[in-house]
Amino acid sequence: MSAPPLQTRERLSEVRYEIRGELARRARELETQGRSLIKLNIGNPGAFGFRAPEHLQRAIADHIQQTDPYTHQQGLPEAREAIAAHHVARGTPQASAERVFVGNGVSELIDISLRALLNPGDEVLVPSPDYPLWSAATILNDGRPVFYRCHESNGFLPDPVEMEALVSARTRAIVLINPNNPTGATYPRELLERIVAIAAKHNLLLLCDEIYDGILYDDSCFVPVAPIAGDVPCLSFGGLSKVHRACGWRVGWAVLSGDPKRSSDFRHAMDLLGALRLCANVPGQFAIEAALTGADTITPLCRPGGRLYEARRAVIDACAASEHLKLTAPAGALYAFPGVTGAAAQGFDDHGFALELLETEDVLIVPGTSFNVPYRNHFRVTLLPQPEQVREVFARIDRVLERRAQANGKVVSLDKRARPAA
């Protein structure tokens, strides 16, 4: 008689992370069969030929002999000082090295911050669509994500009135992702001011995912939340992965701002949890000061003629030319979130479409429902490929959607069927 299977955590059944889920596993199977795929499921610059800037690489190389020991659980002092100075320069109140936490990417710090904050049953307001790590980390730290809608009709911006209506006695925090993943929306100051007012009124922590803060297109701008928040407790996340194209280095940070007395216990909880994992990756921390004080290498990529800008333009043009697609043009970040419309949208299932696109056209995307939206007619692509490859991807997408539109057109609806004469 065989032994019973190992039991796993029950709440894992509530977690979805399709970015690296079933479709990604199928993609690996196809690759083992010799298929060449275009994988647009992850914002991973290095996989598309981008390199971390040379001055960041040099900073690590110059200090490699100093990287063997553990460092302080909050990070290298010089790295934290550089992060604090960066935040002081953009107006973050009470920014200091003592309130900076360096982690193995923002992902680790999201988990640590929610573990420090939540008791079982506590609620966190999370955007819909969201980056699903936020909802997953909330669930796995025994909290409950409560989704506030970011309506496509409003440029994927939230409605503060709807947000406040979701606040309950168990609400502990509001998550803001700005610039947004997956939609590319950037939040105007007036909107952020209204959200800060909600946090102040209900004594909520602001959790501000600002990892894409330097990736902006056309005339869009990034407005940091912390300077607006003032004394309201705010945790601002940044890192090297996106703006500095160094995902594999796993270097992120979080800066705690606002009234130190109100957030003292939370700061100590963050420190304790950081100590339990000893420290973050040390070599990568030596690149932080160089990243924050050195040359701006992302803006040229986001201007007309820059690779990211032109890839984005290719997506916009392809969606405009297609009778099956609609798009709210991304103002920032590394993604587009097109929607399917018209005849192709009838009975549309985003996961089924993504699987068909993978199996028949060798393109891997992420279904929109992976980002916790109640509709099924969207998908996410990254803007990282070369523009000509983006155009090829959307030609393949259009082929699949055209087949679906034609199939739907062959079904005669009841109201269009000829009725017998009375």
Residue-wise pLDDT for 125-143, tens only, equals: 999 999 999 999 999 999 9
Residue type, 72: H
Average pLDDT over the chain reads 94
Whether residue 413 has pLDDT greater than 60: no
Rounded Cα–Cα distance for residues 86 and 244 (Å): 15
Residue 334 parent element (H or E): none
pLDDT, tens digit, 9 for 90 and up, residues 254-283? 999 999 999 999 999 999 999 999 999 999
Instruction: Provide mean pLDDT across the span 29-47.
Output: 95
* Third-level CATH fold of 54-293: Aspartate Aminotransferase; domain 2 (3.40.640)
Res. 298 pLDDT band, cuts 50 70 90: very high
Whether residue 242 has pLDDT greater than 80: yes
Res. 412 pLDDT band, cuts 50 70 90: very low
Q: How many other CB atoms sit within 10 Å of the CB of residue 363?
A: 22
Res. 418 pLDDT band, cuts 50 70 90: very low
Question: What's the token pair of residue 121?
Answer: 């049953």
Yes or no: domain 10-50+300-407 corresponds to CATH 3.10.450.50: no
Res. 419 pLDDT band, cuts 50 70 90: very low
Residues paired with residue 151 on neighbouring β-strands, in sequence order: 157
Question: What pLDDT score was predicted for residue 410?
Answer: 67
Residue 141: which of 279, 281, 5, 273 has the closest Cα?
Answer: 273
Residue 109 parent element (H or E): helix 105-117
Question: What's the token pair of residue 196?
Answer: 């800060």
Whether residue 17 has pLDDT greater than 90: no
Q: How many other CB atoms sit within 10 Å of the CB of residue 422?
A: 3
> Are domains 10-50+300-407 and 54-293 of this chain identical in fold?
no
- For the chain, the domains span 10-50+300-407, 54-293
Instruction: Provide mean pLDDT across the span 50-67.
Output: 96
Rounded Cα–Cα distance for residues 317 and 30 (Å): 30
CA 22, 364, 400, 417 dihedral sign is positive
Question: What's the token pair of residue 332?
Answer: 């920032």
Residues 185-194 as b or e (16 or more Cβ within 10 Å = b): bbbeeebbee
Question: What pLDDT score was predicted for residue 207?
Answer: 98
Question: What pLDDT score was predicted for residue 414?
Answer: 41
User: 354: burial class by Cβ within 10 Å (0-12, 13-18, 19+)?
Assistant: buried
Residues paired with residue 335 on neighbouring β-strands, in sequence order: 382
Res. 7 pLDDT band, cuts 50 70 90: confident
